[in-house]
């Protein structure tokens, strides 16, 4: 990996690689079949500092940089993509938004349990009629004394069922566009907060995705994140970090697919020799490895921008766009290399192929990433 990594970053990578291979990977196939949420993994990951990696130790986080986080996420994703998406949402969107925009009291009450992994968090922005266009959301939060009354339905919420708290966006002022959207930290178990339908998905089966329904749900005004009207910007800013996470996840799954394919091709004999000897396959391996490396470099570059405190919106979108499309090509090739066996559940590549499919969709589709990148090039004229 040509990107210069410090000794500390390499140490994090080695530690998480060992954990992912020994603890997470062996049960991934079974988890995919049973759809069981890996709560026990998150307990251990919390102890290792993987659930609030970029949060300072004073709030029970690991105080790591984004590059270390990206390296860790790549390792976890290679072992189990379902586990990695929960880790990604927890770190990039939930912990980061409370750390960046929360009050001291909110950090004490909510960030510490999240960063230590004692509580799983979710982020509820998407709605049945507002996916790529979150400004058109219809969930409302109406001020009532020292509280807000939230009404509406959120859809496709990662960890919606298994989380202990959810950051929910809602309109506080219908007359304003994005400036009329606010964010709230809503704890599970309060009246009017209902976990709805859980989606039956083609991949990421051990990570729950569900509807969250709010019916006259009364949330204290102390739980509002940032100022009234800050919700859309908080979501966009944290989604930038989330997109770096999905890019890292893509690299991790693609590496696992390449490793599995190389292993298979070396052991599979046809026409009197291992199929890895055929040039037709060797060139496919070369293309897979090159694409994976390019995606890894883009992802690390975006992480590095973030660590330097520079704007990283476009870099995050480019990394997410390229890496998520790359992993779909790579896993398709990996399945083809495995032949008929690749189509069975005896080998992990069919799971990689299914898990990767949503990477070009969630946290902003490929089309939305192209909107972000082209807006930047054509309108903003900022230096890349
Ligand atoms: N950082 C900071 N501010 C930003 C921003 C960013 N990345 N992007 C936009 N903004 C600001 C703009 O500057 C603007 O503010 P001002 O008016 O003060 O200048 C404001 O937000 C509105 O910007 P736009 O007019 O560009 O907004 P838009 O409505 O045209 O939408 C968009 C822009 C990029 C298309 C955006 O809507 C978007 O990213 N859509 C995709 C949403 C998405 O990713 N959803 C996934 C949800 S999470 C998930 O997948 C589930 C999960 O649990 C993992």
Mutate to test the pocket of ligand 1, among 233, 240, 365 (most ligand atoms within 8 A of CB): 233
pLDDT digits (tens, 9 = 90+) for 305-330: 999 999 999 999 999 999 999 999 99
pLDDT at 210 over 70: yes
d(CA 256, CA 226): 40
pTM of the model: 0.96
Tell me the pLDDT band of 379, cut-offs 50, 70 and 90.
confident
Tell me the pLDDT band of 4, cut-offs 50, 70 and 90.
confident
Whether ligand 1 lies within 6 angstroms of the CB of 158 is answered as yes
pLDDT > 90 fraction of the chain, expressed in percent and rounded: 97
d(CA 61, CA 275): 47
pLDDT at 1 over 70: no
Distances 264 to 54, 75, 259, 348 between C-alpha atoms, Å: 37, 21, 9, 11
pLDDT digits (tens, 9 = 90+) for 84-93: 999 999 999 9
d(CA 246, CA 235): 16
Whether ligand 1 lies within 6 angstroms of the CB of 363 is answered as yes
For residues 326-339, average pLDDT? 98
pLDDT at 381 over 60: no
Distances 374 to 175, 223, 309 between C-alpha atoms, Å: 29, 36, 23
Find the 240 Cα to ligand 1 centroid distance in Å.
9
Mutate to test the pocket of ligand 1, among 89, 180, 229, 236 (most ligand atoms within 8 A of CB): 236
Token pair recorded at residue 315: 């870099």
For residues 220-230, average pLDDT? 98
Question: How high is the mean pLDDT of the chain?
Answer: 97
Distances 188 to 90, 119, 121, 163, 337 between C-alpha atoms, Å: 16, 11, 10, 8, 45
């Amino acid at each position: 990996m040509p990107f210069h990594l410090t000794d500390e970053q390499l140490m994090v990578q080695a530690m998480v690689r060992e954990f992912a291979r020994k603890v997470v990977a062996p049960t991934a196939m079974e988890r995919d079949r049973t759809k069981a949420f890996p709560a026990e993994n998150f307990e251990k990951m919390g102890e290792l500092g993987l659930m609030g990696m970029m949060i300072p130790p004073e709030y029970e986080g690991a105080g790591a940089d984004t590059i270390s986080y990206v390296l860790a996420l790549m390792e976890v994703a290679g072992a189990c993509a379902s586990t990695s998406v929960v880790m990604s949402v927890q770190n990039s969107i939930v912990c980061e938004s409370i750390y960046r925009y929360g009050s001291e009291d909110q950090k004490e009450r909510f960030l510490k349990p999240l960063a230590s992994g004692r509580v799983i968090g979710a982020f509820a922005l998407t709605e049945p009629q507002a996916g790529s266009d979150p400004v058109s959301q219809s969930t409302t939060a109406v001020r009532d004394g020292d509280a807000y009354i939230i009404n509406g339905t959120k859809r496709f919420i990662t960890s919606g069922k298994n989380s202990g708290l959810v950051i929910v966006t809602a309109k506080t002022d219908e007359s304003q566009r994005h400036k009329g959207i606010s964010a709230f930290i809503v704890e599970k178990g309060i009246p009017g907060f209902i976990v709805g339908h859980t989606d039956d998905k083609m991949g990421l089966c051990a990570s729950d995705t569900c509807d969250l329904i709010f019916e006259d749900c009364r949330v204290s005004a102390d739980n509002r994140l940032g100022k009234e009207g800050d919700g859309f910007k908080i979501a966009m800013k944290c989604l930038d970090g989330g997109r770096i996470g999905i890019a890292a996840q893509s690299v991790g799954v693609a590496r696992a697919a390449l490793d599995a394919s190389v292993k298979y091709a070396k052991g599979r004999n046809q026409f009197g020799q291992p199929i890895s000897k055929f040039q037709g396959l060797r060139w496919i391996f070369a293309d897979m490895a090159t694409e994976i490396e390019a995606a890894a470099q883009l992802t690390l570059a975006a992480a590095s921008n973030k660590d330097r405190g520079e704007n990283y919106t476009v870099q995050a979108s480019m990394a997410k766009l390229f890496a998520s499309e790359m992993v779909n090509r790579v896993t398709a090739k990996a399945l083809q290399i495995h032949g008929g066996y690749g189509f069975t559940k005896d080998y992990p590549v069919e799971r990689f192929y299914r898990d990767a499919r949503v990477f070009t969709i969630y946290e902003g589709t490929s089309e939305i990433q192209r909107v972000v990148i082209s807006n930047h090039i054509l309108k903003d004229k900022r230096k890349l």
